[in-house]
């Protein structure tokens, strides 16, 4: 749920949209195209947009009877770690945003909570909660370096890609036991 709780908005903040020059007449349009630095924590644990990376906003602001409808796309780089092998992942984010920000005292304002529908704060729109929700929804919750990543051998931690096809700790252990028999060492457990 977006956190739309009112707080002081800085009109110079890159993710605050100023609607002063958008006439409050349904059908009025304005486009916003800008590149902004990504805020902190834009993503999930293993994957996200690095803080300060270039986010390209390509948005349309449209006056509707209840408020301002913001729609368009946000693109930027994504970096993370494969959940199976921990190798770095680089990808591109391309999310769609479509969200109504209601005017104060509109019917929508009176009949919904701020968790359901965002609000204009004066002439300003805080895009950050909506952007964060869209980004989190678009990112994989289990990122992989490739769909068939085989991951790591649970016994030695080496990447299966780097191991021979017959890599097998059981086999190595039985050979080791045989060797111990030959050398007369006690054939007890080899585990630490």
Looking only at residues 92 through 111 of this chain, which bind Zn ion when binding is defined by CB under 5 A? none
Residues 80 and 111 sit within 8 Å (Cβ to Cβ) = no
Neighbours of 62 (CB within 10 A): 17
Indicate if the alpha-carbon torsion angle 139, 145, 150, 156 is positive or negative. negative
CA–CA separation, 72 vs 49, rounded Å?
Answer: 18
- 156 near Zn ion, judged by CB under 5 A: yes
User: CB of residue 46 vs Zn ion: minimum separation in angstroms?
Assistant: 11
H/E stretch holding 9: none
Among 9, 17, 42, 85, the residue binding Zn ion under the rule CB under 5 A is 85
SS3 5: coil
Residues 70 and 31 sit within 8 Å (Cβ to Cβ) = no
Query: Which one, 2 or 143, has the nearer CB to Zn ion?
Result: 143
Segment contacting Zn ion by CB under 5 A, of 9-17, 46-54, 63-71, 147-155: 147-155
Segment contacting Zn ion by CB under 5 A, of 2-10, 108-116, 119-127, 148-156: 148-156
Total of residues contacting Zn ion (CB under 5 A): 8
Query: Which one, 72 or 151, has the nearer CB to Zn ion?
Result: 151
Residues 149 and 82 sit within 8 Å (Cβ to Cβ) = yes
Segment contacting Zn ion by CB under 5 A, of 60-68, 76-84, 122-130, 135-143: 76-84
Segment contacting Zn ion by CB under 5 A, of 11-19, 31-39, 127-135, 146-154: 146-154
Structure tokens given for 149? 């990543």
Give the residues lining the site for Zn ion (CB under 5 A). Answer: 82, 84-85, 145, 149, 153, 155-156
């Amino acid at each position: 749920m977006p956190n739309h709780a009112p707080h002081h908005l800085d009109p110079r903040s890159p993710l605050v949209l100023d609607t002063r020059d958008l006439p409050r007449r349904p059908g009025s349009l304005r486009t916003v195209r800008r590149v902004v630095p990504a805020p902190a924590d834009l993503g999930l644990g293993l994957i996200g947009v690095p803080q300060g990376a270039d986010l390209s906003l390509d948005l349309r602001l449209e006056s509707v009877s209840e408020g301002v409808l913001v729609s368009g796309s946000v693109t930027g780089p994504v970096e993370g770690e494969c959940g199976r092998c921990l190798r770095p992942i680089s990808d591109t984010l391309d999310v769609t945003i479509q969200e109504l920000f209601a005017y104060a005292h509109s019917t929508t304002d009176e009949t919904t909570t701020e968790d359901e529908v965002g609000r204009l704060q004066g002439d300003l729109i805080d895009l950050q909660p909506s952007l964060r929700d869209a980004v989190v929804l678009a990112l994989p919750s289990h990122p992989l370096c490739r769909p068939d990543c085989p991951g790591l051998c649970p016994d030695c931690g080496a990447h299966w890609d780097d191991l021979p096809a017959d890599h097998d700790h059981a086999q190595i252990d039985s050979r080791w036991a045989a060797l111990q028999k030959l050398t007369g060492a006690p054939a007890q457990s080899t585990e630490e």
